[in-house]
Chains A and B, each alone.
Chain A
């Protein structure tokens, strides 16, 4: 029950924060859209709660796991629906790119690291039940694989920095769901933690870029920032490298382990193939961001006040940078 309180509360906060600039109609519709998809997921949550109440007489996780009910198809399906809604998996995904109407710190916090992983977290919490149910595992696997591939392809064609990063988040979430599908809750959790670092940093960097270019979000209008904003550039490059899973940065410890486990486990070949393609696409769209935003000749208006002077921004990015590089190592040892 308490989980449900937090679940709904987070949904409402998302609504309020996406609609932060409430004078803007797009923001309001995006906020409403977020709530719609979240609520559809909540139906699944409520269905799972109802099933648990009547078949195990409790909402308490410990008791449910001790009782170990058979035939857990229905509640786990409900939980999967809830995760789909909250974590923007394939059927209920449009709200995440629209959620980029909110301010960048909101995107950094909610929609990359903490809130969207609530869905995956829910599945992790219920993994003792999922271990016994092969159908649900296959379902999560396929769902995650479709999500990863689909959103990675979408990210290739986007022109707005924040939307690219949003689709990238969606893709990584799909990866986490795939990890749940191959019955590795601990790996999924590890990926949640590491992903948080570099994704949040990517968002903050993009925020810094957007702000210094005077609210310009289209990457076709950026370029040549390599020399103009050195610190942001470095963090962006390191973040992208971590995202793709370059050895010994953070992403490696979780992402590579996931790929290895998927390869060596007895699992659905199609899902595996889609995941691998999606992972390679990660590298592609990250390079795209770097190429358009940082390299080449400047394509923005000449009279901009590019600066990296705000200590708040720089300090936050600095801390996330250190985390992106070292956190993987520290967490897994």
Chain B
């Protein structure tokens, strides 16, 4: 694990010591190399986890998320090049440093053994993200967005701290490996109910759950492109990952405690999808789409069947790649028209056909077209929720329809129709942008060939 963490930390001196025209090249190349190292972790020989030390380990659940994280860093760097091009050198280096710090903390979070260290790193990831959003965001609302983001997440996670400390007192250790063997049922009492709530709320806010999701559209919309990418792709998955880890300890309360959250998720899924149909702001649409997909993951985790866990992990990875790609596409529109309104940049298929092809692929994977891994994730979740209760299929089905509708609505509004008359002075697509989209799409398509890797530990 240190093989990955130390090079990531060393990316920071790399940025500060590089020459002016080499910073992007150096950082992108080395972060790509680091992601190649992390791929070796995917080779999990047995059902138990791969243990590297007392503090870090990786198992079939965290390995794909880890690879996703390391894969995204070069993509984030590539995406940020344009909007930082006019900044002074020090600020560029600061930005890259922030991203790298976030990356290190994320890697450590996904591989943490001990729940308290997981918690500390979980909170620590908030800081670089906050700095990225509030310092390099583009509108004045970014301050408000940062505030919402910070305080929502903190409010949710402080009870988690209390809960973890009390569990540590009770059982003597919060090490994952030991918990697997210790697992006994929690007795049914009021304080245990609060314990359940305390543990889950942090992740519910992070996911986000429908009622607590207000921070997400603000944060996603106001963040600069790399911030949006990392938020959508990874930080939301931290919530899912945490939930998957912690629900192993929380039986049997989960069987009745989960009901309100399941209802909220199922309903919220449909609500947020419907909101997407009426959005005028492109990034806001993608943000609400993220909430909708994550609600599916929440449902999957709370049902707690082997198929649903597989669906949840697959959906997390698939959604990470897809959402990140959609944000990059939205950003390419934003850089050209300096506005996020969808209708200002329509009819792009006539002018930028290759970019239209990427838009098409991204929209198709967003609506979960077979045989992409998005579909596999969604299908598994739908199957398991059908087994939990037959009626949920109606809600899930409605969601699938509305998802298809807004994805294609987004596609049609930005690509098709007659182009506007003011659009004839946009720059053509950069190779960098095309490479970015290709690098997002290629893992997605390749994973469709062998989804075993991302199906998590119940495969």
Interface residues of A (CB under 8 A from B): 1, 4-5, 7-9, 12, 15-16, 19, 22-23, 25, 28, 31-32, 35-36, 39-40, 42-44, 46-47, 49-51, 53-54, 74
Contact = CB atoms under 8 A, between A and B. Distances in A.
B443 interface: no
A292 B393 CA distance: 49
A47 B349 CA distance: 36
Contacts of A9: 369-370
24 contacts: A7-B370, A8-B369, A22-B415, A23-B417, A23-B418, A25-B417, A25-B418, A28-B412, A32-B405, A32-B409, A39-B404, A39-B405, A40-B397, A42-B401, A43-B397, A43-B398, A44-B397, A46-B379, A46-B393, A46-B397, A49-B383, A50-B382, A50-B383, A51-B386
A86 B56 CA distance: 51
A47 B369 CA distance: 17
Contact of B370 (A8, A32, A40): A8
Contacts of A16: 360
Interface of A is mostly: helix
Nearest to A21: B416
B371 interface: yes
Interface string B395-412: 011101100110011001
Interface residues of B, number: 31
Given A35-B405, A35-B408, A47 B416 contact: no
Nearest to B416: A22
Given A1-B370, A40-B397, A47-B397, 7 more contacts: A19-B412, A36-B405, A42-B397, A42-B401, A46-B393, A46-B400, A51-B386
A22 B397 contact: no
B416 A12 contact: no
Given A39-B405, A42-B400, A46-B397, A53 B370 contact: no
A39 B416 contact: no
Contacts of A53: 383, 386
B412 A32 contact: yes
Contact of A40 (B375, B401, B412, B415): B401
Contacts of B396: 46
B347 interface: yes
B364 interface: yes
Nearest to B368: A8
Instruction: Count chain A CB atoms within 10 A of each CB in B350, B360, B396, B397 and give the residue with the most.
Output: B397
A294 B306 CA distance: 65
A16 B375 CA distance: 19
B139 interface: no
B386 A54 contact: yes
Contacts of B394: 43
A274 B347 CA distance: 46
A36 B401 contact: yes
A187 B393 CA distance: 34
CB-based closest 4 A-B pairs:
A43-B397, A50-B386, A5-B370, A22-B416
A265 B93 CA distance: 81
B166 interface: no
B371 A12 contact: no
Contacts of A15: 408
Nearest to A4: B370
A74 B379 CA distance: 18
Contacts of B375: 8
Interface of B: 347, 349-350, 360, 364, 369-371, 375, 379, 382-383, 386-387, 390, 393-394, 396-398, 400-401, 404-405, 408-409, 412, 415-418
A74 B390 CA distance: 10
A23 B370 contact: no
A47 B401 CA distance: 13
A79 to B, nearest CB: 14
Given A28-B416, A32-B405, A51-B386, A22 B369 contact: no
A43 B400 contact: yes
Instruction: Count chain B CB atoms within 10 A of each CB in A16, A22, A44, A53 and give the residue with the most.
Output: A22
A234 B396 CA distance: 51
A19 B416 contact: yes
A23 B408 contact: no
Nearest to B399: A43
A101 to B, nearest CB: 12
Contacts of B364: 12
B124 to A, nearest CB: 41
A39 B369 contact: no
A173 to B, nearest CB: 22
Contacts of B417: 22-23, 25, 28
A74 B408 CA distance: 30
Contacts of B408: 15, 31-32, 35
Nearest to A22: B416
Nearest to A8: B370
A40 B401 CA distance: 6
A4 B375 CA distance: 10
A50 B393 contact: yes
A33 to B, nearest CB: 10
Contacts of A22: 349, 415-417
Contacts of A54: 383, 386-387
A16 B387 CA distance: 35
A22 B401 CA distance: 22
Given A4-B370, A35-B404, A40-B401, A23 B386 contact: no
A23 B347 contact: yes
Contacts of A51: 386
Nearest to B418: A23
Nearest to B386: A50
A35 B418 CA distance: 21
A46 B370 CA distance: 12
Nearest to A36: B405
A35 B416 CA distance: 16
A223 to B, nearest CB: 34
A42 B402 CA distance: 12
Nearest to A43: B397
Nearest to A16: B360
Contacts of B404: 35-36, 39
Contacts of A44: 397
Nearest to B394: A43
B347 A47 contact: no
A5 B368 CA distance: 11
